[in-house]
């Protein structure tokens, strides 16, 4: 699977925003899916149809967790070399 770096960064923003909501107002992270987000980039729609979608989203999110991660490394990670 390949995704643009910008889309993966947007995914990270969506997932991070969900983590910072008041815990009493949010369903557990175990049942959270980025597929429910209206701002999810279009290129992730095919991932949402897969059974392993949560694992894919978690790995993509990990690939861009480091603030100082160089874009060349992030692109390799997003391309599946992570």
Cα-flanking dihedrals φ and ψ of residue 45, to 5°?
-60, -35
CA 27 to chain centre: 18
Taking alpha carbons only, the member of 66, 72, 75, 64 closest to residue 4 is 75
CA atoms of 74 and 28, how far apart (whole Å): 28
Q: What is the pLDDT of residues 33-54, one digit of tens each?
A: 889 888 999 999 999 999 999 8
Q: What is the pLDDT of residues 27-37, one digit of tens each?
A: 555 567 889 88
Task: Provide the whole-model pTM.
Answer: 0.63
Query: What integer is the mean pLDDT of 58-80?
Result: 64
């Amino acid at each position: 699977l390949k995704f643009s770096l910008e889309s993966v960064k947007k995914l990270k923003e969506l997932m991070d925003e969900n983590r910072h909501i008041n815990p009493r107002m949010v369903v557990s992270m175990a049942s959270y899916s980025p597929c429910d987000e209206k701002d999810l980039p279009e290129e992730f729609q095919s991932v949402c149809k897969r059974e392993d979608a949560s694992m894919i989203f978690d790995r993509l999110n990990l690939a861009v967790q480091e603030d100082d991660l160089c874009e060349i490394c992030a692109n390799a990670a997003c391309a599946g070399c992570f």
